Amino acid sequence: MDILKDLNDEQMEAVTTTEGYVRVIAGAGSGKTKALTHRYAFLVNEFGISTSNILCATFTNKAANEMKKRVRSMIGDNDTGFICTFHGFCVRLLREDIHAINYPQNFIVMDAEDTETILKTVYETSNIQSRTYTFSMAREYIKRQKISSYAHIPYLLELDIQKLKTEYMNEKDIKRKVFLGYLYEQRKCYGLDFDDLITLALYILETSDEKRQKWQERMQYVMVDEFQDVSDSNYKLVEILSGFHKNLFIVGDPDQTIYSWRGADINNILNFDKCHKNTKTIIMNRNYRSTPEVLGSANTLISKNKNRIEKDLIPIKQNNQKTIYYHAKTTKLEAQWIVTQIQELLRQGVQYSDIAVLYRAHYVSRSIEEAFIQNKIPYILYSGIEFYKRKEIKDAVSYLRMVLYADDLSFQRVINEPKRNVGKKRLSFLIEYAEQYNMSMYNALKVNIDNNLFVGTKAKAFVDVIEKYQQLHKEKSISDILTNLLHDSGYEQMMRTNGEQERLDNLAELKQSIFEFERTSGEENTLEEYLQNIALFSNTDKEDRKNTIKMMTVHAAKGLEFPYVFICGFNEGIFPSKNIKRFDEMEEERRLAYVAYTRAETMLFISDAEGVNYDNSIRYPSRFIFDTGEDCLKYLVELEDDFVMQSMQWIRLSEDKFSSCKTQIKVGDIVEHVKFGRGKVIAKENDSSVFVIKFDKLATERNLSFTAPLKVISQ
């Protein structure tokens, strides 16, 4: 196969520039995945580089799997294990080398629900009221302690768990107590959450010369997809890994940086050439996705941002349909207009699956949903509970985890699914016994299975099932283990008895996904690898193939494309969000709108509605309508001059409120406060309007508004 065939000039340059530091600025729809996969295949087929020496890191399993599929078709080799997410790579590293920090290799990868379960346990044990200190506050604090200061590592690595327990029990400060309790509970089951995967991998690479050299020498070529989304930790990881061979290839689009709230920093890609001498920058701006009219709207909109690398997307497609803008008097009329447009598209032969409805916030979808239901238009809402977080899926996975790990989290989840009469009293006994003798709850149950307390329960039958498959799991396929487990445990029968057909369908889909895993995973086809694999799944990893309209937030639509896109609720206070308080935040909102525009292949429809927002402010059209301009839009309803003037006045007033806040204070900056003196910015809260600062003179950190009198000493 000719790897270089059908590449344009920019893609060719990206593929064949193999050595040194390379930055590819790849606009929406410019074929960045094609460039990445062909470059990987070029290294393997033309240079003879082993796949075990190439890391290609991305952010979602969906993206990783798509790249693996394409690469395998070009190189004829299934060994593409280092095409993976950042977390997936860290799991691989930790499975190999976590023993360097005296942690067991059979650790459990915890997901969001496991975290929630642990927090509930800590709150109950410590008599902490969630209304006083919410789970959200606890999660934010724990994350901050882990990411910014590695405060958790000494506790996780301490061999004597009783020391941690004692400190946890004696702690008086609520935040600190929850933090220590969380570490204690995860340490008991040797669980690692997503933050741990990154921080522990970094800790090993930073503290062990031997391990760092090993991984640096192994990773001869490092490639990173969606580099505009990398956090400081992600950045640090690829910097270390590429530190020996100095072959680092990054692909991204600064105009699509929309995840600052989860740690992404646009400056990582903008300033990459300043941090790496002799960086070669390649701009891929030929767009194969959208029509000239869609791109004209997108280019005009994003040109209003100042902090960017200038580029205009050049369309390859041809069309003559302007972006349509509709202004409605009410949200109900806006929804009805969308329905009318969809019905017209259907008459033209368009399929439901060709259409997506995007919005800034979930609540905007309500009126659209109602209109769809009334008009019998099928849709799927990409919100709510994702596939791998559904109860029946979590239960099934917990049964599999019991076979491999028999951890407390899984045990508590399934011991009474189906009912086995092991209630609170019996669970409390097991918790206390496990604590006393430093063992798992499952082992505590095995030891006490003949205790009168468990006579008359179905606990022994549960133990017998788990023991059976602990003995057999290496001899049977994962799909067989799951099928037999669900049958022998009585779980599937419980579903049938309860008439839970939808849940049974979901379990069938889970089994299908296991078949797919077994078929494609090669030598990695083990229960351990499978559990590791699904623990890393995200919202967008589940594809829906039904002929339905897709409804989702713009954030969820990132990386997707649809022939026909509707953006609804395009109002001030909604899109851009009413929470915006700084110019850099407004630029990110504009980038988010740009992402929404560039999801459209053939036609783009934008709509808003008059009325009031939840804070009783008047709904005006989004400033992004005016940023896009009349030349790029087909107005179906002309806006009255007075209404436009009122809208522009509102926009100017809102900008005046944060015009003095242009400073780009970042995590890590040293600042000075008129009262508290010198301190270090250790975090930004999710809305980016509050800085968390540890001042030299104060024992505890302070949360300060962006309006606080802060002077930046050094950055």
Active site residues: 32-33, 225-226, 256, 599
Location of structure tokens 């994350």: 143
Q: What is the DSSP string of 454-513?
A: GTTSSHHHHHHHHHHHHHHTTTS-HHHHHHHHHHHTSHHHHHHHTT-HHHHHHHHHHHHH
Among the listed residues 352, 297, 359, 294, the one whose alpha carbon sits nearest the alpha carbon of residue 331: 359
Report the relative pairing of strands 248-252 and 21-26 from DSSP bridges.
parallel
Among the listed residues 8, 56, 40, the one whose alpha carbon sits nearest the alpha carbon of residue 250: 56
- Cα–Cα distance for residue pair 618/355, rounded to 1 Å: 30
- Cα–Cα distance for residue pair 1/37, rounded to 1 Å: 14
Q: Is there a contact between 108 and 189 (Cβ–Cβ < 8 Å)? A: yes
Report the relative pairing of strands 549-553 and 83-85 from DSSP bridges.
unpaired
Q: Bridge-partner residues for 324, per DSSP?
A: 605, 634
Compute φ and ψ for 565, nearest 5 degrees: -125, 130
3-state secondary structure labels for all residues of 83-138 = EEEHHHHHHHHHHHHHHHHCCCCCCEECCHHHHHHHHHHHHHHHCCCCCCCCHHHH
Per-residue tokens: 326: 């509709």
Q: Is there a contact between 703 and 690 (Cβ–Cβ < 8 Å)? A: yes
- Cα–Cα distance for residue pair 229/266, rounded to 1 Å: 8
- Cα–Cα distance for residue pair 539/662, rounded to 1 Å: 34
- Give 121's contacts (C-beta < 8 A, 6+ positions apart): 181, 185
> What does R_g of the chain's alpha carbons equal in angstroms?
27
